[in-house]
Amino acid sequence: MNRIDRIFQDLRAPANEGGGKALMPYLTAGDPSVEATGRMLTAIQDAGASVCELGIPFSDPVADGPVIQASMTYALDHQVTVGQVFEMVSRVRPSLSIGLVAMVSFSIVHRIGLTKFVDDAKSAGFDGFIFPDLPLEASGPAREASAKAGLILSMLIAPTTPDDRAEQIARASTGFVYVVSTSGITGERAELPPELPKRIQRLRGVTDLPITVGFGISSAQHVREVVSVADAAIVGSGMMRRVAQARAKSEDQAVKIVGEFTRELASGLSPTAGASAGG
Partner 1 sequence: MTPDPTTTPPAEAASAAVPDPTGPFGDFGGVYTPETLQHAIDQLAKAYQQARSDPAFDKQFTQLLRDYVGRATPLQSAQRLTEHIRAADDCPAGKGAQIWLKREDLAHTGAHKINNSLGQALLTVRMGKTRIIAETGAGQHGVACATAAAFLGLKCDVFMGTEDIRRQQPNVKRMELLGTRVVPVESGSKTLKDATNAAMRDWMATSEDTHYIIGSVVGPHPFPMIVRDFQAVIGRECRAQCLDQIGKLPDHLVACVGGGSNAAGLFYPFIDDASVKMVGVEAGGRSNQFGDHAAPLTYGSPGVLHGSLSYVLQNNDGQTAPVHSISAGLDYPGVGPEHAYWHDIGRVTYTDCTDHDALEAFLLLTRTEGIIPALESAHAVAHAVKMAKDLPTDQTLVINLSGRGDKDLDEAIRLLGM
Active-site residue set: 53, 64
Question: What is the total count of residues that contact partner 1 (CB under 8 A)?
Answer: 45
Nearer of residues 98 and 134 to partner 1, judged by Cβ? 134
**Per rule CB under 8 A, is residue 165 in the interface with partner 1?**
yes
**Per rule CB under 8 A, is residue 107 in the interface with partner 1?**
yes
Strand order across the 128-130 sheet: 152-153, 128-130, 99-103, 51-55, 22-28, 232-235, 211-214, 177-180, 156-157
Out of 4, 54, 89, 109, the only residue in the binding site for partner 1 (CB under 8 A) is 109
Whether the CB-CB separation of 19 and 235 falls below 8 Å is answered with: no
Helix pair 163-172, 196-204: axis angle to 10 deg: 60
Which candidate, 213, 141, 151, 201, places its Cα nearest to that of 177? 213
**Per rule CB under 8 A, is residue 105 in the interface with partner 1?**
yes
Cis-peptide into 32, omega within 30 deg: yes
The span of 31-39, 44-52, 149-157, 202-210 binding partner 1 (CB under 8 A) equals: 149-157
Nearer of residues 46 and 163 to partner 1, judged by Cβ? 163
The span of 35-43, 44-52, 144-152, 183-191 binding partner 1 (CB under 8 A) equals: 183-191
Query: Which residues, in sequence order, are CB contacts of 185 under 8 Å at separation 6+?
Result: 63, 64, 65, 215
Out of 119, 120, 133, 251, the only residue in the binding site for partner 1 (CB under 8 A) is 133
> Least distance in Å: CB of 81 to partner 1?
6
The span of 65-73, 95-103, 201-209, 222-230 binding partner 1 (CB under 8 A) equals: 65-73
Q: Residue numbers of the site for partner 1 (CB under 8 A)?
A: 58-63, 65-66, 69-70, 73, 76, 81-83, 105-112, 132-138, 141, 155-162, 165, 169, 180, 183-185
